[in-house]
Structure 1
C-alpha cells in the first residue's frame, strides 16, 4: 500500500469517528491534521487489531458488521483527546490569549466523546414489557417461526393487520401500562421489531415483523403514506424545551395542542445530533427511541431529570414521561458469530394525571389509535445479510 493510500485511510478513519465533532468545533486550525497524523503513525497496528477483531467476531462468509467497539474508533478518539488537551497552549503560542476556562469549556462542549446518547439508552433499558395495544397481543410470543419448520409465513395476525392504519371505538381504547412502577400510566407510542437472520445450515430466509402504534390526532382519515409515529430529534431528553424553542410558554403550548393534527409520539432521529454515535458500530445507539411532541412537554411543564442520564422527563411530583427500551431473545446469524437480539423495541408512557390534562386540552374524541404493521421475508440490508 502506498503512502498516499495510507494517508487516505487515516483521513477516512478520522472523518468517520470524529468528523462531526470537528465540524461542530468549527475545525480548529491544525486540529484535524494533528489527529490524522497520530492515526497514520499507528495505522499498521490499528489495521492488525481490527483484523483480529473481525476474525474473532465473525466468520469469513459474513458481511455483517458485529456490534463492537473497534480499534480505529478507539485510537481516533485517543488522538482527539490528546490533541484537544494541548490546544489551549497551542492557541496561546500562536499569540491568542483568552480566558482559559472559557476556551476549554467551549472545546469540551463540542468535542465530548459520543457515548452519551448510547448511555442514556442503556440506562433506559427494561425487561421486555407486555404492554401494547390489544390487537398486538399475538406478538407477545416472539419470533414463533424460529423453531417451527412448518410455520406458515407471514404470521396470520400480522398479515390481517397489514394495511390497517387506524382503530376506532373499543379497539382504539387507551393502552394502560401494566408493569410496576408505572402501573396505570398511559402508552402514547409503541414500536417493536422481531427479526431472524437468513441462515445456510439449515437454509432459512431472513424474516422480520415490524409493529408500530401510537395515539394521534387526525380529525378524519390519516394522511396518505403516514404512520402513527412522526420523527423528531432527541433534544427534549437532554434540554429544557425553553432552550430548544424560544418564546413558547404554557398558554402558547395549550393553543398549539388544541389545534394539533399529528401523532402524540415520534421516533427519534439522531441525524445532525451532536454526540450521537453510529447505530451500526462502537458505542452504538439502540435501534428505536421515542420522544413526545415539544408542545406537549411545554403544556405539561416537563423537564429532563438532573443529570439527564435516562430518557425521562420529570415535574415537581417526580417522573412524568418515560421512554422504555428493550432488546431480548438472542439469536445467531447462522455463522456462529456473536448472538444478537431478535426483538428490539421502545415505548413512550405518560403518568395518568398528566394524560388526563393532555386529553382535555386536545379533546378526547379527537384522539385515535394509529398503527402500522409490516412483514418481510427475504434479503435484508447489506449489513444484515449473508453472502
Structure 2
C-alpha cells in the first residue's frame, strides 16, 4: 500500500509514518514466513499444528465471550468432568454450544489437516450439555455469517493491510462487534451522588479473526484459511488513520508470531514422536495419539475412543505404549483419569533443529512495499530539518 498524497506538519507525524511502515514490514515478513513454512509441514506436524490452532481458537472464543477459566479447568470441562467456571456469568453463552459452533466452522476448512482434526476434536467434546446450547450455536452462527459478510466484498490487494483496515472500519458500524457503550447508574446517598458503572457485555472478535484467515487465504497470502487469533483490536476500530493502522499491523504481527510458535511446536512434536516412538510398527496409532495429547491437551479414555474411532482395548494398548516410553502423565479429576503427554528435557533439543523456510513474497507485494518506502524517502528529503536521527 503506497503512501501517496500525504502531507505532514511536524516531525512527529513523519516519525509516526516511519513507525507504521516498519510495523507493516515486520508483519508482512511474518506472513511470508508463515506461508512458506505451512506447505512444508509433514503429516504429523500438520496434524499437531492443526490441533494447536483449534485449541487456541476455542480458548479465544470462550474467553472473548466472557468465560473465565484455567487451562486445567478447560481440559476437565472438555472431558465432561466439571463446569467450565464456578463464577456466575451475566453475558457469556453456554460454553458447549459455543465450542460446537467453532469446531463446526473449522471442520468446514478446505485445508484437510485442519478439517480432519476439527472433526476428531469435535468427537472428543464431552462437555456438559445445557438447555441453551442450541441458542448459543445459533448466535455464534449468526456472528460467523456477519463476519463473513464483512470480509467477502473486500477486494484482493498486494498487501493485507487495506483489507485489515476495512474490517476494523466495519467493526465500529456493527452492533454485534462494536465495543459496548458505558452505561452508568446514578445513586443518591444523603448529600452524595454516586456513579456506578454497569458491567459492559463483551464484544467478541473471534468470528472476525476466523473471517480474516479466510480473506488472507482468498487473497493468496496464505495457502490455507487459519484463525488469526488476536489480529482484531477494538481500540483500532474506526477510520484508518496512522495510529489505528499501526495498532492493526502490530496486532497482525503478534497474531502471526503466535501462529508461528504453534508451527515451531508442531515441528518439535513431530521430531520427538519420531525419536521416542521410532521402533513402533507403521500401523500403530500411538504416535497420532501422542501428537494430539501434546498439541491439544489432556483427555480421558472415552474421548480418545471417540476421537480416534478405536475400541477401549485399543486405547489401553496405545496408552501402554506411551507409558512404556515414559512420555505419558496421568491425573485424576472427579474420579476419572486424564492422560497428557509428557515433555522430556531431551525433547527440547529438537527445537534447535528447526530451520525456517525462506520468506517468499509475490513480485507485486515487493513492488508495493518498495513504492511505499520510496514515498517515505521522498517525504523525508523534503523535510531535512525534521529532527529525526538515522538509525
Q: TM-score, length-normalised on structure 2? A: 0.27
Q: TM-score, length-normalised on structure 1? A: 0.27
Greater strand percent: which structure?
Answer: 1
